[in-house]
Amino acid sequence: MKKLLPLLLCACLLCAPFLSGCTPAANEKPSSITVFNWEDYINPEIFDLFEKETGIKVTYTRFTTNEEMYLRLDRGGVNYDVAFPSDYMIERLVKNDLLLPLDHEKLPEFKNTYAWLQTPDYDPESKYSVPYMWGTVGILYNTEMTDGEIDSWGAMWDAKYLRNVLMMDSVRDSLGITLCYLGFDLNTRDETQLAAAAEMLKEQKRSGVVLAYGVDEIKDKMVNNEAALGLVWSGDAITSIDLNEGLAFCVPKEGSNVWIDGMVIPRSSKNPEGALAFINFMMRPEIAAMNSEYIGYSTPNEAAMAILGAEYSENPIFNPPAEVIARCKFFHDVEDALETYNRIWEEVMNE
Ligand code: N2P
């Protein structure tokens, strides 16, 4: 051993340049993250601010629906460091082990989150997600192309709006509001209820009221007075009304969906540390406020809400009154009924 020791020391010294060449590189954090978010759902200035402060460069990739996002995470092959799924999709991602648990030690800004949003039932301990934005689903309508106040989903089936209705090309949203209109639970797995909703959606298409099915382009068409009614998320209603004051929004009396989108770290992340830094940055009051102001969606951040002030907190679309929330329900993962949901949507599209 005595003879071996100097030899070992020598070997170590000889290797040292290579080892030291390796060590910093191994410790060095990759200086970029890939953020996988919805279209039109972040103020791009935030990426520059984050990069300036941390040196971490952000690549921004987009998706249109939760279902599309899920498939991309599930198939693997692409690396995403931060993604923004909704409540029911977080449930599904957790069930299928596609998310990394969050290290809350690295997320001190989480404290700014409203207490009621810190323990959502899809992730009661915020173990895998922190809230990003929340809102409702409703009808955006053109007050000059419709008569009187709209307060029912029935308007979207009304023959007088021939070729004037924009439906959302999003399975849960379009089926969800149809189920509400029929008086059924928007998470139903009952085949008879789902078949009734399917028939309603096909009938709506056959009748010719539907001008188009879309997602992000609905707000542009509504702003340009191209349709009388559109199915939208509340934040898109705010953005649209800002650009066209002839538009109004309602959450119909039959009830609707209230949702929370979260920030999560997919299991495939190559830079979870960078991802945590980004998520924490997004929860800073000033950043959350400037982001919410830019995209028009409601912040779950109490401190940011204080910065945004009365103009926002008193806007009933941005901060819906209790009676509106009371008639809304969260989506949940429908598990094995998902096949039925997808089949129905495909049938509607092919009708
Ligand atoms: C904005 C996307 C909003 C997501 N384009 C609603 N859950």
Secondary structure of residue 212 in the 3-state scheme: strand
Q: What dihedral angle (degrees, nearest 10) is formed by the CA atoms of 185, 190, 191, 194?
A: 0
pLDDT band at 76 (very low <50, low <70, confident <90, very high): confident
- Categorize the per-residue pLDDT at 1 as very low, low, confident or very high, splitting at 50, 70 and 90: very low
pLDDT number for residue 26: 52
- Written as one letter, the residue type at 348 is V
If one looks up domain 6-133+261-319 in CATH, what number appears? 3.40.190.10
pLDDT digit string, tens, across residues 51-61: 999 999 999 99
For the CA of 297, the closest atom of ligand 1 is 3
Please give the distance, rounded to the nearest whole angstrom, from the Cα atom of residue 260 to the centre of ligand 1: 10
Q: Name the residue ranges covered by the structural domains of the chain.
A: 6-133+261-319, 135-258+325-350
pLDDT tens-digit series, residues 271-293:
999 999 999 999 999 999 999 99
Mean pLDDT over each residue of the chain, to the nearest integer = 93
pLDDT at residue 16 is higher than 50: no
Q: Whose CA is nearest to atom 1 of ligand 1?
A: 41
pLDDT, residue 193, reads 98
216 CB within 6 A, ligand 1:
yes
Asked if 333 and 91 count as a contact pair (C-beta separation under 8 A), the reply is yes
So what's the pLDDT on residue 283?
98
pLDDT (0 to 100) of residue 190: 97
> Residue 134: beta bridge partners?
260, 298
Please tell me the predicted confidence (pLDDT) of residue 10.
45
| CATH top class, domain 135-258+325-350 | alpha beta
Q: Is residue 219 over pLDDT 70? A: yes
**Of 87, 256, 297, which is best to mutate to test ligand 1, by the most ligand atoms within 8 angstroms of its C-beta?**
297
pTM: 0.90
* Amino acid found at 212: A
**Domains 6-133+261-319 and 135-258+325-350 equal at CATH topology level:** yes
pLDDT in tens, 321-330: 999 999 999 9
pLDDT, average across residues 142-157: 97
Q: Per mean pLDDT, which range of 5-9, 58-62, 132-136 is the poorest?
A: 5-9
- What's the pLDDT tens digit per position in 109-128? 999 999 999 999 999 999 99
DSSP bridge partners of 61: 36
